[in-house]
Amino acid sequence: MKVTFLGTSGGAPTSLRGLSGVAVERGSEIIMFDCGEGTQRQMAKAGLNINKIEKILISHVHGDHILGIPGILQTLSLLNREKELVIYGAEGIIEFIKAVRKTIWFNPTFPIFVGQIKEGLVCTEKEYSIYTTCAEHVLPSFGYAIVEHVRPGKFYPERARELGVPEGPLWSKLQRGEDVMLSNGKIIMSNEIVGSSRPGRKIVYTGDTRPSKSIIKLATNADLLIHDSNYDEDYVEMAAEKGHSTASQAAQIAVEANVKKLILTHFSPRYESTDLMLLHAKVIFKNAIIAEDLMSIEIPFQKNEVM
C-alpha cells in the first residue's frame, strides 16, 4: 500500500503546493481522498494511472477539495473508460456531480455512482472496508478510514510436510483455518501449521477538522493518520473559528489515538515554511512528518510471527 500526496495546500494553491488530494494505491486500484483543482496533473507528475481510480472519497464540498473531479471525469471519458467510478461524499456531493454533468459537455463512457455518506460503514470490499466519522468543520464534513481485513496467519509448508500433509486441497483448508484428517485417520490442526491471524493496515484521513474525539476514535491504532494542520500555534483561535487544527493539536490527536505515524497536511498558503509546525508537533508526537506535494510513503504490514 502506497500513499502519495498530490496536493497539500488549503484554500488556495501556492507555487509549491497544490490543493487537497491523496492517492492510496492498493494492488491495481487507486482510492482518492479528496480531489482538489489540478489533481489529474499531479497524478501525471507522480506517474499514477488515472484510469486506476476506483473510488473518490470526498470529505466535504468546499472547492479546494472537489474542483478536480470535473477534469478527471472528462479525461476518463476521453480514455473510453468502461469500469464504474464510485464517488462518496458529504452533503452536497450528489448535487455537485449532477451540476457537472449538466453544465460541462462530455459523454461519460462509464457508469458513475455517487453516494452521500453517513457516519459509520461506507462500503466493504473483498480485502478492506471504508468507514467514516463526522469531523468538526464549518459545514458537514467527514473523516475516512481504510481498514484492511484481518489476514490469515502465515502458512508453513515445511511444517505441513513434517506432519505428513500432502500438498494440495488439504493445504488450502489448513490455510483457511480448517482442521483436516489424513488418510490414516490422523487429525491435523490448522494452528499446528498456520500462524496466528495478522492484522491488515489502517489509514485515516481527517479532511478539514478541529480537534475531534470522533477522529480519535476512528484513528485508534492506525498505521497512518493524515491530519489537517492548517495553522501554527499563533493562530489557535482562528483555527477553531474556521474549523481547522494546529500542528500541535494534530500531534495530540495522534498520541491519544495511538497511531504509528502522523503526516501533517492542508497548510494555509500564508506559510512559506512549515519547519516551526513540524518542530511543535514533534515535541508531542515524535513520529510526525510534513506532507509535501508528490511525496510518497509505503505502509508496510506488521512483521510476520515466527512459528
So what's the pLDDT on residue 105?
A: 79
User: Does residue 117 fall inside a structural domain?
Assistant: yes
| Lowest mean pLDDT segment, chosen from 38-42, 159-163, 227-231 | 159-163
Percent of the chain past pLDDT 90, that is, above it, reads 90
User: Does residue 307 fall inside a structural domain?
Assistant: no
* Per-residue model confidence as pLDDT tens digits over 102-131: 998 778 999 999 999 999 999 999 999 999
So what's the pLDDT on residue 187?
A: 95
Residue entry with cell 506517474:
47
Residue entry with cell 498456520:
194
Q: Summarize the confidence of residues 265-275 as an average pLDDT.
A: 96
142 and 181 belong to one structural domain? no
**At what angle are helices 247-257 and 275-284 packed, to 10 degrees?**
30
| Lowest mean pLDDT segment, chosen from 63-72, 217-226, 296-305 | 296-305
Residue 294 has pLDDT above 70, yes or no: yes
181 and 100 belong to one structural domain? no
Residue 303 has pLDDT above 90, yes or no: no
| Lowest mean pLDDT segment, chosen from 38-42, 134-138, 157-161 | 157-161
- Report the relative pairing of strands 53-57 and 85-89 from DSSP bridges: parallel
95 and 226 belong to one structural domain? yes
User: Does residue 18 fall inside a structural domain?
Assistant: yes
Q: Summarize the confidence of residues 140-162 as an average pLDDT.
A: 92
User: Does residue 306 fall inside a structural domain?
Assistant: no
Average pLDDT, the chain: 95
Residue 306 has pLDDT above 60, yes or no: no
CA distances from 237 to 183, 210, 234, 240, 243 (A): 73, 11, 8, 5, 10
So what's the pLDDT on residue 107?
A: 84
62 and 123 belong to one structural domain? yes
Cα gap 192→170, rounded to integer Å: 13
- The residues annotated with a catalytic role in the active site are 64
User: Does residue 245 fall inside a structural domain?
Assistant: yes
176 and 283 belong to one structural domain? no
101 and 208 belong to one structural domain? yes
> Domain boundary residue among 143, 175, 191?
191
> Domain boundary residue among 139, 169, 191?
191
User: Does residue 304 fall inside a structural domain?
Assistant: no
Residue 197 has pLDDT above 90, yes or no: no
Q: Which CATH number covers residue 274?
A: 3.60.15.10
**pTM of the predicted model over 0.85:** yes
Q: Which amino acid is at 67?
A: L
Give the domain extent around 290. 2-151+198-298
User: Does residue 305 fall inside a structural domain?
Assistant: no
69 and 114 belong to one structural domain? yes
135 and 271 belong to one structural domain? yes
51 and 138 belong to one structural domain? yes
Task: Enumerate the β-bridge partners of residue 63.
Answer: none
Q: Is the dihedral of CA 107, 109, 111, 116 positive or negative?
A: negative
18 and 165 belong to one structural domain? no
Residue 305 has pLDDT above 80, yes or no: no
226 and 146 belong to one structural domain? yes
So what's the pLDDT on residue 151?
A: 83
Q: How confident is the model at residue 307 (pLDDT cuts 50, 70, 90)?
A: low
User: How many other β-carbons are positioned within 10 Å of the β-carbon of residue 7?
Assistant: 27
Residue 304 has pLDDT above 60, yes or no: no
Question: How many separate domains does the chain show?
Answer: 2
Phi first, then psi: what are they for 172, rounded to 5°?
A: -65, -40
* Per-residue model confidence as pLDDT tens digits over 58-108: 999 999 999 999 999 999 999 999 999 999 999 999 999 999 999 987 789
165 and 146 belong to one structural domain? no
